Amino acid sequence: MVKLPDKASLTGFTQKVGEAVKLPSDTPAESGSSAGVSDAERAKIEAEAIKKYEADLKAKEDAEKAKKYAEIEAREKAEQERLLAEKQRQEALAIEQQRKEKERQEWEREEARKKAEDDLKRAEIEKELLAKQKQEEKERLAAEKAAKKSQSHTLRNVGIIVIILIAILAGAYISLISGVDTVDGYGYPLSYQANYEVFVPDNTNCEFFGMPINALSSGGTVTLMVNNDRQTLAIGQQGVFPTKHMTVKVFGIELYSTDYQLTAEYEGVITNKDTFKFNLKTSSSIPSLLINPLSKNVEYRTI
């Protein structure tokens, strides 16, 4: 702050001003009525001049003081506004940090909940798989037991297969198979499997092991339809088709029946044909003599 002059200093300064104020008629040789002005009038004029000078000086000092006070108040106000702005900024930062902390805690709770749900689902799936494996093992043992009891039935089937073989070897390429019935799977364990590489003419109705097949390629993909179930596969991609049950009859006599599931992997176009790797799982052993009679318009090889 600016230090203002005290009263004593101001009085001394006023006296000096009074001494410095002289009238035009003031000379060492003149006095009193020589100029037509009495000493009282002269003193009055000097007093009025001093008073006016002091008033002007005071007004100037008051104006300077008011200006300095205004500057001080402006600086103080600016500082208060800065402090208020800083306080508001700090409060805003604190609120933002609280919001972020709340979001982080909510995210951690959500992740913990998801993990708990995943762990529960995983435990349930493992429990279901274990139960399914036990059931499949039970059914397999029951199937083996039933197979042992049905040796006579198997011998009959073997006899029919021998008849088919004889017919094929005799040169009669016309299949003796009079019917292939396909329905939804019975749920038998798929304990047997075989792998084939199959070459399917594009957009041609074909059969493989009695399954109706049609493949339509486009670019690097193929749309494969098996038993009216359609899947689009890219090269190297596998598709699993629904489990079905097949019954093969010769002259109305049941020759072979099984649940089966086909997994197809697309290999691309080879020698102008759509080429697949077929993995065929069945609930009964696949008689190799049935593959060719039950296949039409396709080339295949066992792999």
Q: Quick: pLDDT tens for 46-81.
A: 899 999 999 999 999 999 999 998 999 999 999 999
Q: Are 199 and 300 in contact (CB under 8 A)?
A: yes
Please tell me whether residues 12 and 58 are part of one structural domain: yes
Q: In Å, what is the CA distance from 17 to each residue of 44, 47, 209?
A: 15, 11, 133
Instruction: Report the predicted TM-score, pTM, of the whole model to 2 decimal places.
Output: 0.44
Mean pLDDT of 106-125: 88
Please tell me whether residues 161 and 280 are part of one structural domain: yes
- Domain contains 140: no
Please tell me whether residues 159 and 50 are part of one structural domain: no
Task: Give the domain-ending residue among 99, 121, 143.
Answer: 121
* Cα torsion through 8, 12, 13, 17, rounded to 10: 150
Please tell me whether residues 11 and 110 are part of one structural domain: yes
- Domain contains 132: no
Tokens of 301: 């090889």
- Domain contains 64: yes
pLDDT score, position 134: 85
Q: How many domains does the chain have?
A: 2
Please tell me whether residues 94 and 185 are part of one structural domain: no
Q: Are 257 and 290 in contact (CB under 8 A)?
A: no
- Domain contains 27: no
- Helix (H) / strand (E) element for 90: namely helix 39-149
pLDDT score, position 201: 96
- Helix (H) / strand (E) element for 225: namely strand 221-226
Domain enclosing residue 50, as ranges: 1-20+39-121
